[in-house]
Amino acid sequence: MAPTSGTSKAAGPRAHLLQDPRLPAVLARALRKFGMEEYFGYAVTKLVTGETDSRTVICCNTGCHPCAKDYLGASEFVLKELSRKRRRFLFW
pTM of this prediction exceeds 0.85 = no
Q: How confident is the model at residue 11 (pLDDT cuts 50, 70, 90)?
A: confident
Task: Report residue 23's pLDDT band, with 50, 70 and 90 as the boundaries.
Answer: very high
Beta carbons within 10 angstroms of residue 44's beta carbon = 25
**CA angle, corner 69, sides to 11 and 23, nearest 5?**
45
pLDDT digits (tens, 9 = 90+) for 78-88: 999 999 876 66
Q: What pLDDT was estimated at residue 85?
A: 77
Q: For the chain, give the percent of residues with pLDDT over 70.
A: 82
